[in-house]
Amino acid sequence: MVRLADPNASRVLLIGSSRYDTLRPELPAVANNVHELARLLRDPDRWGVPEENCRILLDPASPLIVDRALAAASSQARSGGLLLVYFAGHGLVGADRRLTLALPGTDPDAPHSTAVPYDWVQMAIRSTMAERRVVILDCCYAGRAQMGRTEVRQLADRVAVDRTCLLLAAAEDEQAIAPPGARYTAFTGELIDLLTRGIDKGPRLLDIQTLWDHLYRRLTSNGYPGPELRAGNAGDNLPITNNPVPHSRDRHGQVLYASPYVSDPDLHQAVVLILRHNPGGGTVGVVINRPTTTPVSEVASDWYDLCSIPPVVFAGGPVPHEGHIPLALLRPSATAPLRFRPIAGRLGTLALSAQLSTVEDLVEGFRLFSGYVGWGPGELEADIAQEVLIPTDEPPRVVFTAAVRTLWQYLQRPR
């Protein structure tokens, strides 16, 4: 089961530049950013990283101070922990498209000697013993006036680090990063709100992908550019904090796997996705790791090209179902089409009667299931209590993995 990183083996470095000698505007909200993020990450109900492991570096006087802080955090983070580096302030993108992080004394005409090259962050991240690594950049970019949205994505590609999750705010101008009079910058303000209020009916743990999904929707709905996410082989399901919303018994969209001792052929080595859950009225799910030999092209030929690999019908369970159960995962920025019925977040059923041309650009993953698994009132809860089925915090997109035949073994790995 996915767990939070060991807070005692973790290090958090929160860097903020709120005032500037020459760059404008000043960003007083940045000071609020770093202090509130530190409070939330230190909160034992959310994560509980010790105060000495969570350092605030506000308005550092020189690049050397930042360099030493990066090196210390990198060397002190240990196996089993998380290294999280956050920066808020102005960023400078030069003619070579290399990013530097501006400090109070940064001279925009001499950034390479007065600002922090982002390369330093990359080196610190690469050299740490911590397996979990997160970089969050909340900065607008001087010199970005000539950068289109594609170039912002290319910048995100360049500053990404292998085995590291990167969240990159994409503010188009100074006002976008720090709306006048706001307590926090736009991007970090939404992040703080998610960590503070939690996500209703969300997962027990808030991972990077879940946070990005909600940040993207919130920011774009308010007229801001959506943030970029890069997860270089790190897995964007890396959890950051507990979800502060009380975790209810609603298991819609939850993935569970059968314990190794289960011999019942319906559940032996099964991985199950819950489609509908009502503790007092019963539960319906599908087994997601049993591909058949029947190609989707034989039962729904128009949908074959949209299917996730392998493009075959999956045996969802022993209970017959009229027709097939079509599951779809929408793209993060997609508007739900008319025949899409949500299960959890972007995951839902998509009727095969939908006009393919109207939905194909909206769908990230698609699977067809034959049959389902059913539980009567209280039976799923009994299976969980007796450890017949083990709940996970895997995101719903695991339904569409190509590695279906090793999925059950994967879910049992040490976390």
Q: Does residue 250 lie in a domain region?
A: no
| Final residue belonging to a domain, choices 185, 214, 242 | 242
> Residue 146 has what pLDDT?
36
Would the pLDDT of 380 be above 80? yes
CATH assignment of the domain containing 36: 3.40.50.1460
Residues 216, 183 within the same domain: yes
**How would residue 175 be classed by pLDDT, with cut points 50, 70 and 90?**
very low
**Predicted local confidence at residue 199, as pLDDT:** 86
Instruction: Give pLDDT, residue 71.
Output: 96
Arithmetic mean of pLDDT, 333-343:
87
Residue span of the structural domain in which 341 resides:
255-411
Average pLDDT across the chain, whole number: 85
Percent share of the chain, pLDDT over 90: 46
pLDDT tops 90 at residue 239: no
Are 210 and 267 contained in the same domain? no
Same domain as 223, residue 301: no
Instruction: Give the residue-averaged pLDDT of 330-347.
Output: 87
Same domain, 17 and 105: yes
Q: Is the pLDDT of residue 255 over 80?
A: yes
Highest mean pLDDT among 10-19, 218-227, 237-246: 10-19
In the predicted model, is pLDDT for residue 219 greater than 70?
yes
Higher pLDDT, 36 or 113: 36
- 315 and 367 within one domain: yes
Residue 324 clears pLDDT 90, i.e. is over it: yes
Q: What is the reported pLDDT for 174? A: 47
In a domain, 249, yes or no: no
pLDDT: which is higher, 318 or 248: 318
* Higher-pLDDT residue of 151, 16: 16
Any domain includes 303:
yes
What is the pLDDT at residue 370?
95
Residues 174 and 207 occupy one common structural domain: yes
Last residue of a domain, one of 219, 242, 265: 242
Residue 137 domain-assigned (yes or no): yes
> How high is the pLDDT of residue 374?
93
Query: Are 208 and 138 in a shared domain?
Result: yes
Q: Is residue 143 part of a domain?
A: yes
247 occurs within a structural domain: no
pLDDT tier for residue 414 given thresholds of 50, 70 and 90: low
- pLDDT tens, residue by residue, 351-370: 998 888 889 889 999 999 99
Answer yes or no: do 279 and 164 share one domain: no
Is pLDDT at 333 greater than 90 in this prediction?
no
Pairwise pLDDT comparison (110 vs 70), residue with the higher score: 70
263 and 238 in a common domain: no
pLDDT of residue 227: 84
pLDDT value of residue 144: 41
- pLDDT computed for residue 259 by the predictor: 94
pLDDT number for residue 56: 97
Asked if residue 101 is part of any domain, the answer here is: yes
Query: What's the pLDDT at 145?
Result: 34
My answer on whether 211 and 279 are in the same domain is no
List pLDDT tens digits, range 44-99: 888 999 999 999 999 999 999 999 999 999 999 999 899 999 999 988 876 667 78
Indicate if the pLDDT at residue 167 is higher than 50: yes
For residue 267, the model assigns a pLDDT of 93
For the cut 60, the answer to whether the pLDDT of residue 155 exceeds it is: no
CATH of residue 323's domain is: 3.40.1740.10
Q: Domain for residue 367, yes or no?
A: yes
Q: Give the pLDDT score at 2.
A: 63
Domain co-membership, 155 together with 225:
yes
Q: Answer yes or no: is pLDDT of 236 > 80.
A: no
Q: Which of 119-123, 222-226, 308-312 has the highest average model confidence (pLDDT)?
A: 308-312
Shared-domain flag, residues 197 and 266: no
Percent of the chain at pLDDT exceeding 70? 87
Q: Which residue has the higher pLDDT, 278 or 395?
A: 395
Give the count of domains, the chain: 2
Report the pLDDT value the prediction gives residue 143, as an integer from 0 to 100: 36
Instruction: State both tokens at 139.
Output: 């900065």
pLDDT digit string (tens) for 273-316? 999 987 666 899 999 999 999 999 999 999 998 999 999 999 99
